[in-house]
Amino acid sequence: MNIEELTEYCQSLKFVTTEILWGDVLVFKVGGKMFCFAPMDEGELKMNLKCDPEEAIELRERFPAVLPGYHMNKRYWNTVLIDGSVSDNMLRIWIGNSYRLVLSKLSKSDRKLLEV
């Protein structure tokens, strides 16, 4: 997966907005809340994803490319190195899980605004 494929997949999810923050970080949000972001100017592609705390630990133990979330609450966020060691399909699953987790935590009124 490259940055274009990451962007295309994230933007294919309903109600996703995209912006650039902190100078060079591509941020994907649903309902104004981040679910995925990726620095654009670093040599190796990586992304941060929100995760259920138990799943976050399990993924770190199973996959060397999954690390505690860089500059984030490490209980809820993982940094995933997109280095080819994890299949694109698995990366899409993890992105989708992050998206659904964030979506599920939105207030009822915010979800209603998104017609969820």
pLDDT tens-digit series, residues 63-100? 999 999 988 889 999 999 999 999 999 999 999 999 99
Question: How confident is the model at residue 116, as a pLDDT?
Answer: 53
The pair phi, psi for residue 55, each rounded to 5°, is -65, -35
- Strands 46-50, 66-68: pairing kind: unpaired
Provide the CATH number for the domain around residue 56: 3.90.1150.30
CA–CA distance, 81 with 85 (Å, rounded to integer):
9
Domain around 29 = 1-112
Please give the pLDDT value at position 107: 81
Q: How many whole angstroms separate alpha carbon 113 and alpha carbon 92?
A: 26
Q: Can you count the helices (H) and strands (E) in the chain?
A: 4, 6
- pTM for this structure? 0.91
Give how many domains the chain has, as a whole number. Answer: 1
Q: What is the mean pLDDT of the chain?
A: 92
